[in-house]
A and B are shown apart, each in its own frame.
Chain A
Amino acid sequence: MPKQFLKGNEAVVKGAILAGCKAYYGYPITPASEIAHAAALYFPRAGGTFIQAESEIAAINMVYGASSAGLRAMTASSGPGISLKQEGVSYCAGSELPCVIVDIMRGGPGLGSIAPEQSDYNQVVKGGGHGNYKNIVLAPNSVQEMCDLGILAFDLADKYRNPVFVLTDGFIGQMMEPVEFPEPIAQEKIPEKSWVVKGTIETSDNVITSIELDPDDLERHVNKLQKKYSIIEEQEVRVEEYHTDDAEIVLIGYGIVSRIIHSVIDELREEGVKAGMLRPITLFPFPKKKIAELTERVKFFLTLEMSNGQMVDDVRLVVEGKKPVYFYNRMGGNVPSMKEVHDKVMKIMRLS
């Protein structure tokens, strides 16, 4: 079996290279630095470029350049660095440049800590930079998914000409698990891009830009983006469900939290508690239909986060007060223990 045992941060790099990514630009930050380490080692060998940029702002703009030139390109960082990248991400969204940004979340605000948190949800899922745009956001919860969703990220980025985030936490980045790597994508499978600027006669009439000074022109452009986002919402929702069929209470969480929920559900089921899990794999598009459907048949929701309650807002918008949505969180780098989650579920069930 072609299994390899390695860190999430390394798996995402190998996956990216297998996906035909040829350019990595980044600035070191814990707990994402192993991504830069692996990229520095493998990108040049694999026919790509690696540059340690002077800042996250420079890194995302190098990605902007590489993507304008038609390459699959990526960068990676964590909280403070993602904040700096937001300007560039907004420009990528406006210019409709495909790119992949990996965010290995750490504690905030400010310098916060290097321990895992999920407090970048709002700045990544809601756009983060200025303007009416959305990122596609994929949320891996295993080292295998760091590879698989990393690869998917490049396909979606090209398909929709849109920035795609791989959003996860320090634990998923730092942990090691076995990974099975797929075959590399053949060059001809990567879609031909006619809009790029490559320094060739064929592309010398092309322009990459996000500026539209005429209000009607800009409105048309932004409306076109919104249409793209609705298509993404129609077509790209991905979830994992675990024992939701007959569940009375559904726990919602992503990243490392979903791994803990998974174990707690096993315990609860053994105790006869009808608990299930919904794990959004895509945070944008958010699984609205799925949650609406569950709202019809479950008694309670419990959203678990390592943030101050950022995703729970999205859950509540869908549930519309029809069923109670409870919330439990830990912050500062603490991870909710199985016992805490278990106790919280039992408390809710007793209330009923």
Chain B
Amino acid sequence: MNKVLRKSDVFYDVYERRPGADKLTTTYCPGCGHGILHKLIAEALEDFGVQDRTIFISPVGCSVFAYYYFHTGNVQVAHGRAPAVGTGLKRANPNSIVISYQGDGDLAAIGGLEIINAANRGEGLTVFFVNNAIYGMTGGQMAPTTLIGQITMTTPLGRSVENEGYPIHMSEIIATLEAPVYVERVMLGDTKSIMHTRKAVRKALKIQIEKNGFSFIEVLSACPSGWKMTPIQGEKWVTDTMTKYFPLGVIKDISDTFEGRDFSRKNVEPSELHEILDIKETRIDAEKIAPFIMKSVAEEIKIAGFGGQGVLSLGTVLSEMGMRHNYEVSWLPSYGPEMRGGTANCSVKISSKKIGSPVVANPTILIAMNRPSLDKFETDVVSGGLIVYDSSLIDRAPTRTDVTVIPIPATKMADELGNTKIANMIIVGALIKHLGIMSQEIVLDSLGDVLKRKKLVPLNQKAILKGAEFIKNIK
């Protein structure tokens, strides 16, 4: 017992961070459980020699100023968020020992989501959950752990099941999850119970120090001020009344079989990053693009069809090929209000000048892959523009007489090649051939760099050639 009461070296000798004249005592009331638990934690950190590696997270609650006392790294956090902050701390420096110290309001009410998910991920944290069945700091309001019938400032007639439901059993909830290694409920009552709590505290910290495992220790703890009791009455209430609702004992312990977690990050040199990020040189063949570079190009292309017809990738392939010819390019997908009824469209700009707006309102080229797209966008095309449409799917010709129209049975041709999905590439081939603003050779050559699924490159090349041939034959 003496050892428990000696002031550990893990505490500051003088609490310099505490404002005011008194720098030697804590802010806790007589008989408060927080002070006792602090001592048990400090003693364990000292004995295990991990003081320097420890980061203590102060919650919002009466222990908000834990950083006045603990001579460890300290982080004070928002109400309930300690397990999330702890996740960030631990993952940043896996060698640190991170303690999430939380009250019942903090952990079981406002921070319910953070604790459940940190526990479920099995973060390498040690959580000390101080259950005093009340909000101590804010003047004694109900906590999720407040007992039925218990009078608090917000349950003046006693907590009722009808209005407030039952006290929450956090340890049992946490123990249902797979990742937590050790979950125990202990209390701060007589000396014996404190010595038992001491053991639990040490075991929980050990699990983090040795194996980076997640432990959860619920500590039934007196709040004489909030309960309006004397310290002696408080201790008795913890022992006799709280334990009836919150049975003591180990609720889960897999520390024997738990193999440990490794949170270390990969060691990567900055010089490796370009390769890791798939940042590659785009091959631009100056000689081959020479015939195109003097061209004045200002195409605004609208590509539309059913989702699944490859409308968006038709656009990205055109743009990427444009980029490889040193044109300015932009690609903008439809999403939001336009993306109804399974139709998709995208706007592509290919220009020899800097591109302002990427939005295409009046296309110079419309590629319509289904009837609704033709119906919707036909009138928008600029006079003198071009409409390319899939004549195997669209049963009407455009009515515009002031534009060039190219019907191409792309889907039928794709089926003949054995894959409906490459109708879009047939159109790419046709368009490139018709416009003459890009080299077919470059397009075929760089397809492998542009397409995600490398296996499909030969088929796509075939489709492009087929589209080009179609244009050659109708010209």
Q: Which residues of A contact B (CB under 8 A)?
A: 1-5, 14, 17-18, 20, 22-23, 25, 30-31, 42, 44-49, 51, 53-55, 57-59, 61-71, 73, 87-88, 91, 95, 107, 113-116, 170-171, 174-178, 181, 183-187, 197-201, 203-211, 213-214, 217, 256, 259-264, 266, 332-335, 337-339
Contacts and interface: CB of A to CB of B under 8 A. Distances in A.
- 10 closest cross-chain pairs (CB), A and B: A65-B88, A199-B96, A115-B336, A263-B356, A69-B92, A47-B268, A61-B84, A262-B356, A197-B73, A209-B76
B296 interface: no
B329 A177 contact: yes
Contacts of B95: 199
Contact of B88 (A2, A23, A113): A23
B97 A199 contact: yes
A187 B267 CA distance: 12
Contact of B96 (A198, A209, A264): A198
Contacts of B270: 20, 184-187
B117 interface: yes
A73 B96 CA distance: 18
Interface of A is mostly: mixed
B71 interface: yes
Contact of A69 (B81, B89, B335): B89
Contacts of B358: 171, 175, 177, 256, 259
B452 interface: no
B96 A2 contact: no
27 contacts: A1-B282, A4-B282, A5-B316, A23-B91, A49-B92, A57-B114, A58-B113, A58-B117, A59-B84, A61-B85, A66-B91, A171-B359, A176-B332, A177-B330, A177-B331, A181-B279, A197-B73, A198-B73, A199-B93, A204-B52, A205-B71, A209-B75, A211-B64, A260-B357, A264-B356, A266-B356, A339-B361
Interface in B315-346: 316, 319-320, 323, 329-333, 335-337
B273 A5 contact: no
Contacts of B335: 30-31, 114-115, 170, 174
A148 B361 CA distance: 29
A47 B361 contact: no
Nearest to B76: A209
Given A51-B87, A66-B91, A204-B52, A61 B74 contact: no
B400 interface: no
Given A58-B117, A181-B279, A185-B270, A64 B19 contact: no
Interface residues of B, number: 73
A175 B330 contact: yes
A9 to B, nearest CB: 12
B280 interface: yes
Interface string B108-149: 000001101100010000000000000000000000000000
A178 B88 contact: no
B455 interface: no
Contact of A209 (B54, B74, B284, B319): B74
Interface of B: 17, 19, 51-55, 58, 64-65, 67, 71-78, 81, 84-93, 95-98, 113-114, 116-117, 121, 265-268, 270-271, 273-274, 276-282, 284, 316, 319-320, 323, 329-333, 335-337, 355-359, 361
Given A5-B316, A48-B265, A64-B85, A263 B357 contact: yes
Nearest to A14: B277
B279 A14 contact: yes
Contacts of B78: 61, 64, 87-88, 91
A252 to B, nearest CB: 16
A62 B73 contact: no
Contact of B265 (A49, A63, A334): A49
A2 B323 CA distance: 12
Contact of A62 (B87, B274, B316): B87
Contacts of B54: 199, 204
A76 B58 CA distance: 26
A266 B77 CA distance: 51
Contacts of A175: 330-333, 358
Given A68-B88, A184-B274, A263-B357, 16 more contacts: A4-B278, A47-B268, A48-B265, A53-B117, A59-B84, A65-B91, A66-B92, A176-B319, A178-B329, A197-B73, A207-B67, A209-B75, A256-B357, A259-B356, A261-B356, A334-B337
Contact of B76 (A174, A185, A208, A259): A208
A238 B76 CA distance: 34
A184 B271 contact: yes
